[in-house]
Structure 1
Amino acid sequence: MKTFAALALLLAASLASAQQPDRTLTLLQRLADAPGPPGAEEAVRAIMVPEMKPFITEPLRYDGTGSVIAQQGTKGPRIMIDAHMDELGGMVRRVTPNGFLTMQMLGGWLDQALVDQRWIIIGSKGPVHAVTGIRDIHIVPAEERTRVFSRDSLYLDVGAKNAQEVFAMGVEAGDPVVPDSPFTVMNGTQNYLGKGWDDRIGCAVLLEAMRRTSAMPHPNQLFYVATTQEEVGLRGAKAASQLVKPDIGIAIEGGITGDTAGAHPEESQVKLGAGPGMFLYDSSTIPNRKLVAFTRAAARSASLPLQADLVQGYGDDSAEMQASSGGTPTINLVVPVRYTHSHNGIVNRQDFDRTVDLVVAMLMKLDAAAVADLRDFTPKP
């Protein structure tokens, strides 16, 4: 009888454990679903700030663009860990007399990714659902059926008959627009579908690394910075770097995979599910070679896989950190993402977890001597 009771208690405890919410999964969903195009990051900042506050040792600071600067420690080298809050989006440009809207795109969109998509306009009265329409196959001439239609030919349809109905919805020129693509766990796998993984996945890495280092002794000043307006010119990172004045910069981004149908080997070598990535080159930054070696050594010591890639046509916040404080050694670490800069991207949970492990391992190995060596370019005899 006692054995049966013990088994019943064990089963009950097991079921209770299985029903516990996954804190990380919940955080990823909240971040992915939050609207935050460049210059309108309020909803993302509203998630980041309360998540950061329990783990800071100094009051939170903000730069003039709305970036959030969270600090741990007051002595030692100044390490800036950066992820950007904004996502690709748009802005209402004009409301036409017949109730359609034109849109100014924000960030690096492909024209073919814009047609027949759902969007959300952040209006003064709340979210307004919209769609970029598409011409009906029955009336499109045969010679136009394979054409990519330019963004300037597209209109947002909010269901209004005229401009007055649009204004009554609380929509006007300048209102932010974001993709409408809810977070989804893909068919019981460890792959997560959602919008804005560039760079909400980096924001989640930043928060989890911050939570872990708050309970670990380290000889550094760690500045966890959630920046704004990366997608339109790294503007928040420039302002935040001027305040932080980092000795070392670590950008955390959404990477680019080369494991999809039709991919070319020279475009990307990174695979989903194969671990964090490290950029050896992109259009905005060439990383410090010593910091590249340091990152590889940290990954080896922690038994973590590390993918390396060179990507053209890609820029990130490490460029602004690198140009600050008289020149700062920087590295761009990435969580691989399939289908970046579109409505529907895919990330892998194990890649996320391992990226957090790598960032923490690096921060624990950095100290004054290591930072001095990374910044030393004196020719050796």
Structure 2
Amino acid sequence: MRADAPRARRPRRGTFRLRGSTVRLRLTATYGGLFLASGTALLIVTYLLLRSAGILVLTDSDSSARVLRDIAEAPSAGIPAEDLRATVAHRLLERAAIALAVMTVLSAGLGWLAAGRALRPLRTITGAAREISATSLHQRLALTGHPDELRELGDTFDALLGRLEVAFDAQRRFVANASHELRTPLTRQRTLLEVALADPAPTVDSLRAACRRAVVAGHHLERLIEALLTLARSQRGLDHREPVDLADVAGDVLDSRGEDIRRQRLVVSADLGPATALGDARLVERLVTNLLDNALHHNHPGGSIRVATATRADHSALTIRNTGPLVPPADVDHLVQPFHRLGAHRAAAPERTGLGLSIVDAIARAHDASLRIHAPPTGGLDVEVRFPFAPVSTA
């Protein structure tokens, strides 16, 4: 069994930690230090001014004050002027130093309280971050008060929680759908084998037919697993980029689908102009293949497909348009979700993985490309992928 990692001890709220510097302690030290430095500077300036002042206040041991309105009167009072000035300055410096020490302690206490009040939103954010888990991502800080930097930090944290909640929900749906999709061919295989084994009088032909159907189910399972791996690889990002000619890739994919095109009696037009993208050649080929297979499958006999590549001002574009059944506009945004199929197509093509456009969307994102899907009112789809422009080196 794996040993549990030691859990960090949480400091109790309200405790003053001398060990380890905290933001509140640093702010308090800064406030107190600044006050002490400025007070000391003010005291030194005052002392220097009094050394040269002409009006002084002297307090004797009986606490009776004698005001010498002018330093020139000091000799007539029997006190040398220089001694009087030094005595007054020294006593003033002592009492000012005591007052400065008291005010420094008071300012440090006020700084401690002010820092605690200023850092209260940070404690709220820290506590929420400690308590929030994958099952409570719906919680929000919802900080109130003056719109300052801490309020902005809280709002940013809430936005991050919102994105994480959406991502976790999508992951849960994906895992649930993937489990269901993987279970279907496995269940079909098991059923075929159980029926064949339960036959009291099996023949070679019946067993051969059962095996063929089990092989077909295995092929579907293999395609589904391959699609899941491709989707995961696309979402991970690109390890390297190289120039990819979209026209060459589109032409090769069209040639590989020639038999399917002839069987469905489709009219295909290709306008393959120069278009270069930076990315992974295999993933770009998979993107074009999925788009063309989608256009072939969701079409009707005698329909048409148009494939075009072109270089524009700031991007290289791949466009595939096909005729076919009408797609409700409300379903267009859901077409790139994993395992999303329109109702009629789910029953008509159980061998489809339901990941074709999801993989296209993931590959486009990995290449920093934009995917635009439009459903014309006459039916079919109009799909355009815009890759960032990649100039061809002439060296």
Higher relative contact order (CA 8 A, sep 6+): 1
Give the structure with higher Rg (CA): 2
TM-score by length of 2: 0.23
* Greater percentage in helix: 2
Normalising by structure 1, report the TM-score: 0.24
